[in-house]
Structure 1
Amino acid sequence: MLGMSEIKWIKITTDIFDDEKICLIDALPDPDAILVIWFKILTLAGKHNSNGLLMMTDKVHYTDEMLATIFRRPLNTVGMAIGVFEQFGMIEIIDGIISLPNWEKHQNVDGMEKIKEQTRNRVAKYRKKQKNLALGNVTGNGR
């Protein structure tokens, strides 16, 4: 994975089904399948945490075929959904790489920064404790 794997969530607002693009998708044939694929794309992007890029590794990008397999959906349905998302500006495809141009909308950047800061503090506290133990301060209180 490209990014940090510590973030296990994406942000979905309660008014998502009032979004103009979602309403337009709802009027298309097979809207449920399209919306499921949209949420699977969002969760995949969140899982890899690569600023909205859908990349399996730093050198391998997901193809429609790979997404169909991972999402357990027919290839033609995934291809159709990808086309809809691109048409509506929900994704961009550049050199075969799918990206979510409004990724910040789906990822709580402030929350991620808070988690990073908490992790840094935890690691610093642990290292200080380990250093004190190594120096003979066996109380372990780190003071």
Structure 2
Amino acid sequence: MSDVRWIKITTDIFDDEKIQLIESMPEGDTLIVIWFKLLVLAGKQNYSGVLALGDKIFYTEEMLTTVFRRKATTVKLALKTFEQFSMIAFVDGAVTIPNWEKHQNIDGLEKIRQQTRKRVARHRQKQKALVAGQELKLECNVTEALPVTDSNGQV
């Protein structure tokens, strides 16, 4: 699972023709909820839009029925509808979201990963220095320290 806890939803999602067509269907609101649940599940997995439990077990229709807490007939209808509208695809038995990068900012994810690597490296360096009894040279983001006066020192 991923440490990323967001997916990208645009404010004009309900202007999308596919979403409008789905909304107009019987149980349209339920299908939209299932669509969002699919996106969230794919976001949690962070496996390039492939719905998988780990890296070897792909979600089945029955598993999605259980995880989404919906009737099997409704999940089946949703998956069939999403496939017809090319919102999902079945690849070797796995449910995939073809335009995943539309819903997950891939560049942003890479930036987060780089920042995390740097932060972890700094933390490990700090721990090693503490163990070795070395004095730490810390970086500071403060560019200038103002002198404390009566006017700016009171809270």
User: What is the TM-score with the length of structure 1 in the denominator?
Assistant: 0.92
**Match of 1:12, SS?**
coil
Contact 1:61 1:97 survives alignment (8 Å):
yes
Count how many residue pairs are aligned between Structure 1 and Structure 2.
139
Counterpart in the other structure of 1:26: 23
Counterpart in the other structure of 1:98: 95
**Match of 2:38, SS?**
helix
Q: 1:131 aligns with which of 104, 128, 131?
A: 128
Q: 1:44 aligns with which of 41, 50, 60?
A: 41
Alpha-carbon shift at residue 29 of structure 1 (Å): 1.1
The structure whose Rg is larger is: 2
Q: 5+ unaligned residues in a row in structure 1: which ranges?
A: none
Deviations 1:13-49 (A, max 9, x none): 0000001110111121110010000000000000010
Alpha-carbon shift at residue 87 of structure 1 (Å): 0.4
Counterpart in the other structure of 1:79: 76
Q: 5+ unaligned residues in a row in structure 2: which ranges?
A: 140-155
Q: What is the CA RMSD across the aligned residues, in angstroms?
A: 1.3
Counterpart in the other structure of 1:70: 67
Amino acid at match of 1:66: M
- Distance in 2 (alpha carbons) for counterparts of 1:133 and 1:66: 48
- Distance in 1 (alpha carbons) for counterparts of 2:49 and 2:97: 5
- Distance in 1 (alpha carbons) for counterparts of 2:104 and 2:128: 36
Question: Where has structure 1 moved over 3 Å in runs of 4 or more?
Answer: 139-143
Counterpart in the other structure of 2:105: 108
Deviations 1:85-125 (A, max 9, x none): 00000000022100000000000112212211110110111
- Distance in 1 (alpha carbons) for counterparts of 2:56 and 2:120: 30
- Distance in 2 (alpha carbons) for counterparts of 1:67 and 1:94: 16
Contact 1:132 1:142 survives alignment (8 Å):
no
| Structure with the larger RCO, 1 or 2 (CA within 8 Å, 6+ apart) | 1
Identity of aligned residues (%): 58
